[in-house]
Homo-oligomer: A and B are copies of this chain.
Amino acid sequence: MADEHEITPWDVSDTFQEAQYEKVAREFGAKIIDEQLKNEIKDLAGEVHRFIQYGIFFAHRDLDQLLDGYRKGRKFYLYTGRGPSGKIHLGHLIPFMFTKWLQDRFDVDLIIQITDDEKYIFRDTSQADLEKYTRSNILDILSLGFKPEKTHVMVDSRNSDLLYNYGIKVAKHITASTVKSVFGLKDSDNIGKFFFTSIQSVPAFIVSAITGHNVPCLIPYAIDQDPHFKISRDILPKLGYEKPASIISKFIPSLKGSGKMSSSDETSGIYLDDDGKTIKRKLMKYAFSGGRDTMEEQRRLGANPDVDFAFNTYRMLEPDMGKVSKIYEEYRSGQILSGEMKMIAYEKITGFFETLNSRRDSVMKNMNDYMFNPERFL
Spell out A's residues near B (CB within 8 Å): 117, 120-121, 157, 160-161, 163-165, 168-169, 171-177, 179-180, 185-192, 194-195, 197-198
Contact = CB atoms under 8 A, between A and B. Distances in A.
A194 B354 CA distance: 48
A81 B231 CA distance: 33
A343 to B, nearest CB: 47
Contacts of A117: 164-165, 168
A360 to B, nearest CB: 29
Contacts of A168: 117, 120-121, 192
Give the top 4 A-B pairs by smallest Cβ distance, nearest first. A171-B192, A195-B195, A164-B164, A160-B164
A204 to B, nearest CB: 17
Contacts of A161: 160-161, 164
A190 B176 CA distance: 6
A188 B164 contact: no
Contacts of A197: 191
A190 B165 contact: no
Nearest to A179: B191
Contacts of A163: 164
Contact of A171 (B157, B186, B195): B195
A198 B185 CA distance: 19
B175 A190 contact: yes
Contact of A190 (B121, B164, B173, B188): B173
Contacts of A169: 120
Contact of A187 (B121, B173, B176): B176
B195 A176 contact: no
B164 A191 contact: no
Contacts of A177: 187-188
A160 B167 CA distance: 11
Contacts of A160: 160-161, 164-165
A192 B192 contact: no
